[in-house]
Structure 1
Amino acid sequence: MSNRRKFLKSSLYGGLAVSTASLSSVACAPKAPLRKPVVISTWNHGQEANQAAWKVLADKGRAVDAVEQGVMVTENDPENATVGIGGFPDRDGNVTLDACIMDEFENAGSVAFLQNIKNPISVARKVMDDTPHVMLVGEGAKRFALEKGFKEENLLTPKSEAAWKKWLENQDYQPEINIENHDTIGMVALDEHGNLSGACTTSGAAWKMHGRVGDSPIIGAGLYVDNEVGAATATGLGEFVIKICGSHMIVELMRQGYSPQEACEQAVNRIVKKYPNDYKNLQVGFLALNKQGEYGAYSIHKGFNFAVKASDQDELIDAGHYNG
């Protein structure tokens, strides 16, 4: 019995020594050098949006201000058919906008099914800053915007109206992969102070049913920020992003130690695995940024690109993809 006790005692201390050594090696493992500030955003229009965001970041401003200013550039572009003014309408001819924003304190604001207000991201910011709520929708969101001084205007441009009338000839509703090589703009940024924020804004799927809302204004789906870990945003057919809570999933994977690239790949793989009969006919892309300034991106199909802006980088990058 005495020998058995000695064996157990030596095994226990030996195990503790190994555990302590392991913990020590983890604690002492060098971290990747912190890279800040940096801003990343979805699609080719992200380069122009990043420039506006960079003006804030370069002046040591907050990431939340940078992402708001950045995506507003895209919202204000009437030539962009998927965001803000000029966005393609629903099947009834109404342009309806969705947007959300999160700051470094995990505060969040969102608007959905907003009509006749050009900058939904700024309305979402007001919801975050000036109300106890996270999301306002429809007529209530519009009323709130008007009370805050936003102007009501017609968002259906002649170009988008002509496209809608052409669609009415056949009324075939089939979301197209990489329509015009762009979609929602999602943007996440890490500022000089080491804080993360994100924004996401869209006019949603063209010719959608009146009242349809996708992932873009939904916290945890189209966007999620945890200032301890990282931030993620999504683009593509929102129904499938919602079904897996895509952006939240990616941030939680980064919390578990996955790199931004690995986390984005895992989210895409989840869609592919869960919806094997659907994924070949739809596009979803994810973008992620961690606390160290490392980024990653991945999509179901070829064609998704993203823009990166840092002190030593300013480029458009083709994301990796699962299929084709």
Structure 2
Amino acid sequence: MFNRRKFIKLSAAGASLATLSKYVVAKPLPVAGKLPIVISTWDFGVAANKEAWKTLEKGGRALDAVEAGVRIPEADMKNHTVGRAGYPDRDGRVTLDACIMDEFGNCGSVAAMENIAHPISVARLVMEKTPHVMLVGDGATQFAVEQGMKREKLLTPESYKEWQKWLRKAEYSPVMNIENQQKRPGGKYNHDTIGMLAIDSKGNISGACTTSGMAFKMHGRVGDSPIIGAGLYVDNEVGGATSTGVGEEVIRNVGSFLVVELMRQGLSPEDACREAVNRIIKKKPEIAKKIQVGFLAINKKGEYGAYALQEGFSYAVCDAKQQDLLIPGKSAYKDEKKDK
């Protein structure tokens, strides 16, 4: 059952988490959850985890849990970084990306798909109903309709209004940690992703990742979220990882696959995420200072951890003991300041 706990004020959470008082906020310590368990990126992961838990607590499959979980932010009309209410590209077209992966290594994804509100469910259909891994653009939409999904206009009046404002100057300037900044005046014009990883009562792992991508991106741009190995990767012998932030840098490092392989070599989830972040810094140090990228991972034991380039990244955890735990992730540039 979903139980609320008292909010614990922690200075380590920072100002970016000040609006999240309805959740338990915990220090980012190395921890292991009791199986089954589900973790996901950002504060909207709390509601997504709650939905996923309905499947897990009944002994259901992790794959079913992650699909059901990420459909919650996909349907949230206040969420402009994921799903049907996402901000459009520069041409005013809302395009969605998603991928899903199960314990057997099966995977499916869609990219630059229009007019379908739940890309994660289309990604699962690609995995289960086709010989392919990815469908894109009009082909993805056509397939979704053929499978009985509703074609609908996704550009909401609010998103249209913001697009019209953007067109006045047509400048693209990403804002870090938009999912927190949306809660404050002036926080807009960016993107982010929900990535979710779950281990069910049988010890099997699945993951899902879905986004509307960068607001006002070039039409046809695809980030890391629908790319297996970049935005999401699961190996049932080792664990799973997902990413959030500027996808181009994740793709260049095949980030989620890297995190899983580092866990295979014996690193903890947090240390594996840290090393993946450090690879980005090493390759593109000047770019890394200006953007946000975060990784979230879980290993076969149910141990989880995260690490990001910048402060402000958070993730949500749900197991039999805690259903609304929000954890501020550690970050590279915060650690750098400490070292100095």
Question: What is the Cα deviation at residue 277 of structure 1?
Answer: 1.2
How far is 1:180 from its partner? 3.7
Following superposition, the deviation at residue 282 of structure 1 comes to 0.4
- Which residue matches 1:177? 176
**Pick aligned residue for 1:226 from 235, 239, 245:** 235
CA drift of 1:183 comes to 1.8
Alignment counterpart, residue 330 of structure 2, candidates 317, 320, 323: 320
Q: CA offsets, 1:266-306, max 9 Å, x none?
A: 00111111111111110001000100000001100000000
Distance 2:277 2:66 in 1: 24
Match of 1:76?
Answer: 75
Q: Is the 8 A contact 2:33 2:319 kept in 1?
A: no
Residue in 2 aligned with 1:121? 120
Deviation by residue 1:175-232 (Cα, 9 ceiling, x = unmatched): 2111242720000000000000000000000010000000000000000000000000
User: What SS does the aligned partner of 2:54 have?
Assistant: helix
1:266 aligns with 2:265: no
Give distance in 1, aligned partners of 2:276 and 2:321: 29
Equivalence for 1:300 = 309
TM normalised by structure 1 equals 0.89
**Distance 1:34-1:185 versus aligned 2 partners, 3 A rule:** closer
SS at match of 2:85: coil
- Aligned residues: CA RMSD: 1.2
- Contact 2:34–2:320 (8 Å) recurs in 1: no
Give the conservation status (yes or no) of the 8 Å contact 1:79–1:86.
Answer: yes
Secondary structure of 1:277's aligned partner: helix
Counterpart of 2:187 in structure 1 is: none
Q: Could you say which structure has the higher helix fraction? A: 1
Q: Partners in 2 of 1:112 and 1:308 — Cα distance?
A: 27
2:236 matched to 1:211? no
Partners of 1:202 and 1:180 lie apart in 2 by 12
Aligned position for 2:24: none
Give the total of aligned pairs: 293
Q: Tell me, in whole angstroms, the C-alpha distance in 2 between the residues paired with 1:213 and 1:317.
A: 28
SS at match of 2:90: coil
Distance 2:257 2:110 in 1: 19
Q: TM-score, normalised by structure 2?
A: 0.85
1:146 aligns with 2:155: no
Q: Is the 8 A contact 1:43 1:183 kept in 2?
A: no
CA-to-partner distance for each residue in 1:64-117, whole Å, 9 max, x for gaps? 000000000010011100001110100100000000000000100000000000
Distance 2:62 2:88 in 1: 31
Aligned to 2:86: 87
Between the aligned partners of 1:139 and 1:299, the Cα distance in structure 2 is 34
Residues 81 and 179 in structure 2, CA contact (< 8 A), matched pair in contact too: no
Identify if the C-alpha distance between structure 1 residues 109 and 208 changes in structure 2 by more than 3 Å, giving closer, same or farther.
same
Equivalence for 1:10: none
Residues in 2 aligned to 1:263 and 1:198: alpha-carbon distance in whole angstroms = 17
Distance 1:210 1:103 in 2: 30
Distance 1:57 1:180, change over 3 A: closer
Structure 2 distance, partners of 1:46, 1:160, is 22
Residues 121-152 of structure 1, C-alpha deviations (whole Å, 9 max, x = no match): 00000000111100000111111000000000
Give 1 or 2 for the bigger CA radius of gyration.
Answer: 1
Aligned AA (1:183): D
Task: Identify the residue that residue 287 of structure 1 maps to in structure 2.
Answer: 296
Whichever residue aligns with residue 205 of structure 1, its letter is: M
Distance across 2 between alignment mates of 1:287 and 1:179: 17
Residues 250, 267 of structure 1: 8 Å contact kept: yes
| Matched-pair contact (CA < 8 Å) for 1:104–1:196 | yes
- Whole-Å separation in 2 of the counterparts to 1:310 and 1:34: 6
- How far the C-alpha of 1:33 sits from its partner, in A, is 8.0
Q: Name the CA shift for 1:33/1:237 in 2 (closer, same or farther; >3 Å).
A: closer
Unaligned stretches of 5+ in structure 1?
1-31
1:34 Cα deviation after fit: 8.0
Go from structure 1 to structure 2 and tell me whether the alpha carbon gap of 1:104 and 1:164 turns closer, same or farther (over 3 Å shift): same
Q: Secondary structure at the match of 1:39?
A: strand
In structure 2, give the amino acid aligned to 1:192.
Answer: S
Task: Give the whole-Å Cα distance in 2 for the aligned partners of 1:118 and 1:33.
Answer: 34
Higher RCO (CA < 8 A, seq sep 6+)? 2
Matches within 5 A, 1:60-75: 60-75=59-74
Q: 2:293 and 2:311 mapped to 1: Cα distance?
A: 10
Aligned to 1:198: 207
Matched-pair identity in %:
63
Give the conservation status (yes or no) of the 8 Å contact 2:192–2:211.
yes
- Is the 2:36–2:198 contact (alpha carbons within 8 Å) kept by the matching residues of 1? yes
1:189 aligns with one of 184, 198, 206:
198
